[in-house]
Structure 1
Amino acid sequence: MKRIIVLVNIFVTVSVAAQFNVSIEVPADFTPKEVYLYSLNGSKDILNSRETRKGNSWQIKVSKPYTGMMKLYFPEENISLNFISENKDVKMRLEVAKNKVSNVIYLDESNAKMNELQDIQQKKEYILPALYQIKEYYKGKENFGKALETEILRLSQGIGDMSKYPFVNFYQTNYANFVEKNPTRKSPTHDDIIKFLTNSNEMLETSSLLRPVLVSYLNIGPNTNLTSDIDKLLKAVNTETPRGQTVLSELIEVFDTYGMQDLKDKYLTEAKNLKCTINDRLAKTIETNKNTEIGARFPDYTFNRPSNTTAKSIHGVKADRKIIVFWSSTCSHCEAELPKIIEKYSSIKKQNWEVIALSLDSEKTAYENKVKSLPWINDTELRGWYSSYGETYNVHATPTYFVLDSANKIIAKPEHASDLITYLKLN
């Protein structure tokens, strides 16, 4: 299916000199040996360190001061989980069933509070509206009605004063103000969000609230003057500053994800034309898009576990044209589109063309069962959306298509299988 993801993760950097440890306890039968530790920049995970398991635990030392959300990733099982640090030691114990994490027990106070907060936020968004409706049928003295009122009150009030936890307080306040769907609260205006983006401290860049707040901004009003609204925002945050450039980078990627091609092209051009020093975040966005534009030479990729080929990489495949497909066995759109390409595959091969399908699957069995029916070159890292080619090739949705010539230059980027078939004149 076309996949659009807005992840809400959280962390905050601080300037106080300190370091802390992350301790992870696991059962003996949990098989992963390696873990990656990530921090965050806007909506991008940044690799902090890697650590090898010793006994039944990992002990990870974070050498630089850090407050906010971090992520653990176990590459051998494609498992990830989030936690927060208030620049203090973090301790957790993982409960496991069939080599998958079934529960995380947070043993430090900050993470326990954050876990409670997220539980309440989820229930407020998805359960609280239903509780209000059910309450009307259980008025009066019934025990069930009283229990409903107690739960409604608990969810409505949140978890109280969080001033002891700077990050949790920042996240709780601003998630409620700008992201949470709450019909009882006044929706933010463009000016409210601009004020937040321009006046927030460095927590904004690392809280992961940036992208969902920008999506909220874009969804305000009838969008009849969307370009003017965006220009107003970018002027306020100043694209010659690091913050303004991070906002611009996020917007370009939002437009790309939602298929808003005209807006993406407009603001990507503005980014390229900036005369000031460009921060790493925006530079990466510009580079990734440059590498996948029409006319660009498609970056090479060394195969990991290829089938139906003896070639070692994409560039090593000899063909007059190459059709690159990014897909997943869990993608409903792929289920509908890939059979259309299978129908034309004999015609594709007769013209010395080739299909190379790179999967964003994470489950080995699901991938192997599906790939049996795909006659072309297949490969996967079994890392889902953590796959390296997701960022390299600017893939935000599946299926995504590229057509390359014999020199591996991009000559087309069809939207759908039908567009691909039409472009190749295989109708």
Structure 2
Amino acid sequence: MKKIFTVSALLAAFSLQAQFTVTIQAPADFKDQDAILYTLNGSKDIIFTKEQSKNNIWTFKYPKNYMGMMKVYFPNTNNTFNFISENKNVSVKLESQGNKVKDIVYLDEANDIMSKFQEGSQKKELILPALSQIKEYYKDNTEFGKALKTEINRLSGNSDGIDQTQHPFIYYYNTNYSKFLSNDASKKVSQDEIINFIDKSGDMLETSSLLRPILVNYLNSGGNTNVAGSVDKLLDRLKVETPRGQTVLSELIDIFDVYEMQEFKDKYLNLAKNLKCTITDRLASTLKSNANVEIGAAFPNYKFQSPVNTTAKSLYDVKADKKVVIFWSSTCSHCEEELPKLLAKYNDLKAKNIQVVGLSMDVDKDSWSKKIAAFPWVNDSELRGWNSSYVDLYNVHATPTYFILDANNKIISKPEHVGDVLEYFKLK
């Protein structure tokens, strides 16, 4: 009995040790009451929990080990910020103006170090080359010349001296960012080195935000003529039946989607569909969002938030022989170029009983309202940008994105550009 008690006590002690809290403080005039805490899996934010403020303080209790990137999102004001966890309490103070977060003060040691390191890295990459050029025009014995030399020496210094025992995630992130994502041509790594890293790296790879950019770097290092060979070589090593292999497969499918590499997306999406093993949540999410938007699939219904130019409550309530659904943004340059062309043919579309529905990725209500004043079709927006619910629901990776639906809301075409939309309806 004593032995059982001892084991239970050890487990309880471990549980207490693994738990940490995330505390967010905001000014009294910050109006948002709700906050959502996210963890990270590859490049996908995973909702952990939602909390309400008490005296403008949010406290999240995380019950297990987690080392990696986290995010807090305030849905009503569309504010978001990132931070790290090293299994220790996180404390953050927000400074805001007009209900927008203007500055983030990290009060815990790990995030303070990480913030300073990233600031230094940005200066090193962006400012140091410029300062080195400017220095050529000033003598070292002038006041400005001395100041330039001091700053150049400071930025050129080694800022990687992180104690791995005290800050394992910061050490992991900085070391591998420097090795695999540096702009320094002398640090170029081979495909085999990248494969070995992805294969052998621990769980922090999925939570670090490094996986996707490293995969893009891996594909670039293999050249455009050998994409399939590079991917097959990587997946053969990782084995797609494993959690790591499935996460990488999911990321690759999304990468091919973003870069409009349809042939490769189709090939590896089919590989994922035909897996006979247990599917991870990460890959299942990718399969579902892609299945939602396949040709012939019923386009999932969407409940409007604040629709304009319609009395319909949802996408399905909009009745027409056909619908053109557009995901766009007032800050999107391609949208600025393409949507006026659709507007020019809008009356012709209406004459054919074709309705247009614009779902915006905007965050600023004024910008969105001014833009839609010129668009007579159905318009709606959550005003949450890429945090909008329809990003995952409809597998949206870029703006503008078009879908054409039939009268039963089945997808009959996925045009790439507005010209393809007009050509489909013989209006070009």
Q: What TM-score do the two structures reach when normalised by structure 2?
A: 0.93
Matches within 5 A, 1:300-319: 300-319=301-320
Please name the residue that 1:284 is paired with: 285
Corresponding residue for 1:18? Answer: 18
TM-superposed CA distance for 1:345, in Å, is 0.8
Alignment partner, residue 244 of structure 1: 245
Between the aligned partners of 2:336 and 2:239, the Cα distance in structure 1 is 44
AA in 1 matched with 2:167:
Y
Aligned partners of 2:320 and 2:354 also within 8 Å = yes
Counterpart amino acid of 1:233?
A: L
Deviation string 1:16-40 (CA, Å, 9 cap, x unpaired) is 9521111112211111111111111
1:265-297: CA deviations, max 9, x gaps? Answer: 111111112222111111111111111011111
Q: Distance in 2 between matches of 1:40 and 1:100?
A: 24
Correspondence for 1:186: 187
Please say which of residues 14-23 and 366-375 is displaced more in the overlay. Answer: 14-23
Counterparts of 2:308 and 2:223, CA distance in 1: 49
Quote how far apart the aligned CAs of 1:397 are: 0.4
- Supply the AA of the counterpart residue of 2:371: K
1:253 matched residue in structure 2: 254
Is the 8 Å Cα contact of residues 294 and 411 (structure 2) preserved in structure 1? yes
Tell whether the 8 Å contact from 2:329 to 2:335 is kept in structure 1 after alignment: yes
Q: Secondary structure at the match of 2:163?
A: coil
Determine the structure 2 residue equivalent to 1:400. 401
The residue correspondences of 1:407-418 to structure 2 (distance < 5 A) are: 407-418=408-419
Mapped to 1, the partners of 2:223 and 2:106 lie a distance apart of 43
Q: Mark the CA change 1:236 to 1:135 in structure 2 (over 3 Å): closer, same or farther.
A: farther
Q: Distance in 2 between matches of 1:196 and 1:209?
A: 11
- Give the Cα–Cα distance (whole angstroms) in 1 for the partners of residues 336 and 150 of structure 2: 46
Letter paired with 1:31: K
Residues 73 and 81 in structure 1, CA contact (< 8 A), matched pair in contact too: yes
Contact 1:16–1:65 (8 Å) recurs in 2: no
Distance 1:414 1:299 in 2: 18
Using the TM superposition, give the Cα deviation of residue 246 of structure 1 relative to its aligned residue in structure 2, in angstroms. 0.4
Please say if residues 25 and 57 of structure 2, whose CA atoms lie closer than 8 Å, have aligned partners that are also in contact.
yes
Post-superposition Cα deviations, 1:370-423, rounded to whole Å, max 9, x if no partner, equal 111110111111110000001110100000000001111111011111111001
Query: What is the one-letter code of the residue matched to 1:306?
Result: P
Distance in 2, matches of 1:190 and 1:23, equals 41
2:49 is the alignment partner of 1:42: no
What one-letter code is carried by the residue in structure 1 that aligns with 2:339? Answer: L
**Distance in 2 (alpha carbons) for counterparts of 1:199 and 1:174:** 13
Aligned twin of 1:9: none
Question: Does the CA contact (< 8 Å) of 1:125 and 1:182 recur in 2?
Answer: no
The farther-off stretch of 249-258 and 226-235 is 226-235
- Using the TM superposition, give the Cα deviation of residue 15 of structure 1 relative to its aligned residue in structure 2, in angstroms: 9.4
Aligned to 1:225, the other structure's residue is in SS state: helix
Structure 2 unaligned runs (5+)? 1-13
**Quick check: 2:140–2:149 contact (8 Å CA) kept in 1?**
no
Deviation at 1:162, TM superposition (A): 3.1
Superposed CA deviations along residues 309-359 of structure 1, whole A, max 9, x for unmatched, are: 122111121111010000011111111111111111111111111001100
Partner of 1:298: 299
**What corresponds to 2:335 in structure 1?**
334
Bigger drift between 306-315 and 325-334 goes to 306-315
Q: Distance in 1 between matches of 2:196 and 2:133?
A: 35
Match of residue 356 from structure 1:
357
1:45-84 alignment, distance < 5 Å: 45-84=45-84
Is 2:189 the counterpart of 1:177?
A: no
Deviation sequence 1:212-270 (CA, Å, 0-9, x none):
00011111154322211111111111111110110010000000001111111111111
Q: How many residues align?
A: 413
Tell me the CA shift for residue 88 of structure 1: 1.0
- What corresponds to 2:225 in structure 1? 224
Which deviates more from structure 2 when the two are superposed, residues 267-276 or residues 399-408?
A: 267-276
Supply the distance in 2 between the matched residues of 1:77 and 1:302 (Cα, whole angstroms). 20
Kept in 1: contact 2:68–2:86 (CA 8 A): yes
Q: Which structure is richer in relative contact order (CA contacts within 8 A, separation 6 or more)?
A: 1
AA matched with 2:237: A
Residues 188, 139 of structure 1: alpha-carbon distance in 2 compared, 3 angstrom cutoff: farther
| SS of corresponding position for 1:81 | strand
Distance 2:117 2:163 in 1: 10
Say whether the 8 Å CA contact 2:328–2:401 is kept in structure 1. Answer: yes
Alignment match, 2:29: 29
Inter-partner Cα distance in structure 1 for 2:283 and 2:33: 34
Q: Name the counterpart of 1:87.
A: 87
Amino acid at match of 2:243: P
- Deviation of residue 425 (structure 1)? 0.6
Runs of 5+ consecutive residues of structure 1 not aligned to the other structure? 1-13
Please tell me whether the aligned partners of residues 74 and 80 of structure 1 are also in contact (alpha carbons under 8 angstroms).
yes
Choose 21-30 or 60-69, whichever is displaced more.
60-69
User: CA shift at 1:139, angstroms?
Assistant: 5.5
Amino acid at match of 2:50: R
Q: What does residue 207 of structure 1 align with?
A: 208
Q: Which amino acid aligns with 2:182?
A: E
In the other structure, the counterpart of 2:11 is: none
Query: Is contact 1:302-1:313 (8 Å) kept?
Result: yes
Partners of 1:92 and 1:193 lie apart in 2 by 35
Q: What CA distance in whole angstroms lies between the structure 1 residues aligned with 2:368 and 2:312?
A: 20
Q: Secondary structure at the match of 1:46?
A: strand
Q: Give aligned-pair identity as a percent.
A: 57
Q: What TM-score comes out, normalization by structure 1 length?
A: 0.93
d(CA) in 2 for partners of 1:227, 1:94: 46
Q: Say which SS state the counterpart of residue 317 (structure 2) adopts.
A: coil
CA–CA distance in structure 1, aligned partners of residues 329 and 62 of structure 2: 35
**Residue aligning to 2:142:** 142
- Verify the 8 A CA contact 2:18 2:64 in the aligned structure 1: yes
Q: State whether residues 40 and 68 of structure 2, in contact with CA within 8 Å, keep that contact through their aligned partners in structure 1.
A: no
1:364-379 to 2 correspondences below 5 Å: 364-379=365-380
Q: CA deviation at 1:80?
A: 0.3
Question: Normalized per residue, which structure has more helix?
Answer: 2
- Is contact 1:125-1:180 (8 Å) kept? no
**CA distance in structure 1 between the partners assigned to 2:58 and 2:227 by the alignment:** 48
Taking structure 1 as reference, are residues 237 and 318 closer, same or farther at Cα in structure 2, changes over 3 Å only? same
* Partner residue in 2 for 1:128: 128
Per the TM alignment, residue 137 of structure 1 is displaced from its structure 2 partner at its CA by 3.2
